[in-house]
Structure 1
Amino acid sequence: MPALRHALLSLLLVAISWGQSAGDPTDVMFVNGRVMTMDSRVPRADSVLVRGERIVAIGIEEDVRSAMRPGGKVVDLDGKLVVPGFNDSHSHFTGGSRLLRQLNLYGVDTLAKVLKLVKESVDRAQPGEWIYGSRYDHTLWGDRWPTKQDLDRVAPDNPVVLRRASGHSVWVNSLALKISGITSASKDPPAGEIQRDSKTRQPTGILLESAAGLVRGRRRGPQLTREQRRKRLEADLIAGFRHAARRGVTSVQTSSSLREMEVIRELKAQGKLTLRWTGWLPLRQAAWLGERGVVTGQGDNWVRVGFLKGYIDGTLGDGTAAMFDPFIDRPDFDGLPTMNQKKLDAMVVEADRLGFQIGIHAIGDKGVHMVLNAFERAARVNGTKDRRHRVEHAQVIHKDDLRRFARLGVIASMQPTHCTTDMRFAETRIGRLRCRTAYPWRSLLDSGAKLAFGTDWSVEPLDPMRGVYSAVTRTNIQRMEPKTGWFPEQKLTAWEAVYHYTVGSAYGEHLEDVKGSLAPGRLADFVVLDHDVFTIPHEKILETKVVMTVVGGKTVYDGR
């Protein structure tokens, strides 16, 4: 106890000296909490003092209260658990926000139920109006892909486009194919595939990877003015901010654009931004961005430029991930890589030379291997260090590549719910042997690698509790199987899961000294939970709710 008291007092003295230069906002002291700081110097506390956007002091209430200025406000946390705000290291936030108002097929577990929901949308629409939906997962229904004929039964007069949960393929009906001019004579685009009937060679209605871009529906229907598009974007984003606040998400690292980030900054100026936004930009634009002075880290703690994002392959669920060996359920096919090693190396070396952090989507073992090769070459050619390049997803890793992450300083940006979703079909796709190093969190940590956790929203729900549960159980959420976990040797503890969702994600964007842990001088981003996820039975983690979300010292959600 004396050592802990000494550490607390040391942090308090630092805090007071820091807080004296922070202007004159009202102090807010949060007391009577069970605070897990994720800071090894003082891992636990019961009180947090906030001044403006920063934490001023943290520790035992008696000590922290001495740093509070007259006129401050006290908030009683009623003994609830407090953790740093969750930082989703990989999301598609704008797309997820937009889908909050669209047909959502996530978790719908039979084809009949999906078709019923599509028919309900058709019944509300005008004849000929395009019907859009997303997040269906055909692996919940069985082994076969759905077809255009399935949709034709409920939508003969409306073109239908349903995006799979992965975001890497679409399922369309006959009318959508006809309008788009997709026929038996159509050629597969590069890094894409039009699925065809094995006998007639007619398109089945499934368009994989880049072939999804052949659908022309996006260019049809009512055209919105630029101002109308902007207003819709703002409304979608604000709905997304509310959605995130209720789930304790205080930061997102997300697909974005320079124009979109200007909208986000304007929402911040209007007081409507309730999370921190790090936007990743396309790797293919590296030269263009460099010419305009855009660099990773540009911006402030609310809106900033993140890494440059590229793709090397597809997904496991769509059967398009780049694999060293063919898929078990498709022996003549080993995935759809987007480019060869030489081209990938050239893109990565140039972006690295320009000073960008880089994140590459790679799911198959060959895809991951190619990305690690490119990062290794960039470091050798440019002599750069601590870029913290990232492999986004890193789902299936060859055993010989596991130790390369730590050696190269490459971050594994992973989404635990992908494991507990994909386990239903992973062994059917790639066999049990390759699955031994699928989603290998423990092996990566043991090798010294850095992990950053997220959700890939809207591919998976934004709720961090599902990610924490998945990391500690490796049990499918829908079926609650297997009870002991899928390859349980790769499980994490609850503390590790939360750490990589907070400190790990902050490290992944070079901000671990600013957020991700609770300490004096850090941003006052934290979440209050109604259950202690570190001590409750694991199945109760899914029932855990956010009581309060604080971002920059401001309460953006209060569910008390």
Structure 2
Amino acid sequence: MHPDLVLTNARLLDPGSGDFLPHDALVLSGGRIAGFGAAAAAGAEVLDLGGAVVVPGLTDGHLHPVSGAERTAGVDLSGCTDLEGVRAALAGAVRELPAGQWLRGWGLDPNAFGDLPVSADSVGPVLDGVPAAIDLFDAHSMLASRRALELAGIDGPRRFEQGSAEVVCDPAGRPTGLLLEDAACELVEAVAPRPSFEELCRASAEVLRRMAAAGLTGGHAMDANGESLAVYAALEERGQLPLRLRIAPWVQPGASPADLAELVRRQGGGGRRWRVDGAKLFMDGTIDNGTAWLERPDCHGESTGAFWPDPAEYTRVIGELHRAGVPTATHAIGDAAVRHVLDAVERAVAAHGRGAVRHRVEHVETVPDDTVARFAALGVAASMQPTHCTEYTRADHTDNWSRRLGEERANRAFRCRDLAAAGARVVLGSDWPIAPFEPLGVMAGARHRRPARDLRQPPHLPGQALTPLQALAGYTLAPAWAAGEEDRAGRLAVGHRADLTVLAENPLTVPDTELAGVPVLLTVSDGEVTHRAV
């Protein structure tokens, strides 16, 4: 049982109404909210918050803690805006690299290549002779050096079960270094060195510590890849798991009946702060790569196919999981992909009844009006990452994402406000390590629709900005609903979990462009203080 804790001189904010509760003290006991008022404080630790604002614990609706900790171990290229910067960063990393060792990198933005193709040749000779594997920012593609391709035995095109996976080759059939989707990237990953289990535990513990310091009390982890589950178990045993994590293992094309049965069997397994709950699937790739599934091709004639070579098989799998009571989260970015996911859920509900299963679509980057209206009707949550829009696209549509789509579809970018107005539950998250995990920064991006690196830039489709209350709900009420936990999470109510985030200012009244800088004074998960700055 965790020690009791009482928070006094607090302003308790309701994320539903936006009003403060008529209390100034909160009593926590046994990992739950036990009551309001300081009278029950006997024997408990008492913290005077000095008028700070308490909100329900902020939950990131889409992140990758362990795989992200491994992925971000290399050189950070996320700040490079042009090829000169990319080459300089890589050259500096190569100078520090012991002879013969691999260079890893992450966060590479295709916009940095300008009009040149994303290829090893475009980077230039800086990686000559160096085995290098560099993740693009979307984590759906990799740029491999010539030496890495050689070590992996990649000398031409390949065929994959994943419909959009590809070893990109030039007209002569020679690999360019660009690998699309996991099946292709795994060819290089299979020969590249990996961290030890202890190294992965240390890196994951540090990432989770920083997440707690940013105000996160929980997250929906969208993979169970590699040793992730063992890492969570080890960190919890060591007292190093500050977030409550809901984990959705992947279901890939080609999954057998035995694979699905094993996934169903694993549901609910875990520890006190982590559990397997749901499944993660992919209906397409990304627009930047030309691997999304669009109803019309992009400007390069790409993004015309689904991740599942047989979309009908995906529909069958959704039906099986729905019948078994397993909630699903499907990556669907393009309009055709999102439409197919909604069609599949509709068929599953018609065949087996709605029940208590709650499905969701991840990303929802460009969709027409009729698709927007279907989310609420089907009870499907829209899980969105506003900073993907603000950090990687531009209001003038000169970015790679917008150019590929063309004006009509680029003008349907990240329709957060339209989905909320249509009655959909809009769950917000970062998709870390794709974008920074700080929740106040994500909420700020949802409100101002500008790049955090230069808030003087015009907003991208400001009509799709969320209100402050909608943004807060996206980190509190909406993720609780999506997890089927609205009766015990997402609000400050007696009997609810003692997951709390304490802020120096009211997040609903702070100007949009200042929200990201509001200090996080206290983070409490399961009644335990996981971050303290008071």
Which TM-score applies when normalising by structure 1?
0.87
Tell me if structure 2 keeps the 8 A contact 1:316–1:422: no
Q: Does 1:91 align with 2:69?
A: no
1:162 to 134, 139, 143: 134
| Deviation of 1:539 (Å) | 1.1
**Number of paired residues?**
522
Paired with 2:197 and 2:302, the residues of 1 have a C-alpha distance of: 46
Residue 498 of structure 1 corresponds to 472
1:267 to 235, 249, 272: 235
| Deviation of 1:409 (Å) | 0.9
Residue 61 of structure 1 corresponds to none
Q: What SS does the aligned partner of 2:279 have? A: strand
Structure 2 residues without counterparts, runs of 5 or longer = none
Paired with 1:293 and 1:335, the residues of 2 have a C-alpha distance of: 28
Change (3 A) 1:258 1:376: farther
Q: What SS does the aligned partner of 2:277 have? A: strand
**1:146-545 pair list within 5 angstroms:** 146-183=118-155, 185-189=156-160, 190-198=163-171, 200-210=172-182, 212-213=184-185, 215-221=187-193, 229-254=196-221, 255-256=223-224, 260-284=228-252, 287-288=258-259, 290-291=261-262, 294=265, 296-299=267-270, 302-328=273-299, 330-331=300-301, 334=304, 337-424=307-394, 425=399, 426-480=401-455, 482-483=457-458, 485-545=459-519
Tell me if structure 1 keeps the 8 A contact 2:73–2:104: no
Paired with 1:272 and 1:537, the residues of 2 have a C-alpha distance of: 34
| Deviation of 1:512 (Å) | 1.6
Paired with 1:477 and 1:54, the residues of 2 have a C-alpha distance of: 36
Q: Deviations over 1:12-43 (max 9, x none)?
A: xxxxxxxxxxx7x6532212222213255974
Paired with 1:244 and 1:127, the residues of 2 have a C-alpha distance of: 35
Tell me if structure 1 keeps the 8 A contact 2:57–2:500: yes
| Deviation of 1:288 (Å) | 3.3
Residue 56 of structure 1 corresponds to 34
Paired with 1:258 and 1:379, the residues of 2 have a C-alpha distance of: 32
| Deviation of 1:493 (Å) | 0.9
Residue 38 of structure 2 corresponds to 65
Which residue identity is paired with 1:237?
Answer: S
Bigger-Rg structure (1/2): 1
Paired with 1:319 and 1:236, the residues of 2 have a C-alpha distance of: 32
Change (3 A) 1:479 1:26: closer
**1:545-556 pair list within 5 angstroms:** 545-556=519-530
Which residue identity is paired with 2:236?
Answer: K
| Deviation of 1:367 (Å) | 0.5
Paired with 1:391 and 1:300, the residues of 2 have a C-alpha distance of: 26
Q: Which moved more, 1:295-304 or 1:46-55?
A: 295-304
Tell me if structure 2 keeps the 8 A contact 1:317–1:422: no
Paired with 1:235 and 1:451, the residues of 2 have a C-alpha distance of: 33
Q: Deviations over 1:224-253 (max 9, x none)?
A: 7xxxx3322321221122111111111111
Residue 36 of structure 1 corresponds to 13
| Deviation of 1:211 (Å) | 5.7
Tell me if structure 2 keeps the 8 A contact 1:442–1:492: yes
Change (3 A) 1:351 1:152: same
Structure 1 residues without counterparts, runs of 5 or longer = 1-22, 59-63
Which residue identity is paired with 1:57?
Answer: G
| Structural RMSD (CA) | 2.5
Residue 127 of structure 1 corresponds to 99
| Deviation of 1:530 (Å) | 2.7
Q: Deviations over 1:287-345 (max 9, x none)?
A: 435358625445565121121111111112222210001112x1365355333331111
Paired with 1:319 and 1:293, the residues of 2 have a C-alpha distance of: 33
Q: Deviations over 1:121-159 (max 9, x none)?
A: 222223322111111102145243332124451122211
Which TM-score applies when normalising by structure 2?
0.91
Percent identity, please. Answer: 30
Tell me if structure 2 keeps the 8 A contact 1:160–1:173: yes
Paired with 2:182 and 2:138, the residues of 1 have a C-alpha distance of: 13
Tell me if structure 1 keeps the 8 A contact 2:74–2:103: no
Change (3 A) 1:72 1:326: same
Tell me if structure 2 keeps the 8 A contact 1:473–1:488: yes
Q: What SS does the aligned partner of 1:512 have? A: coil
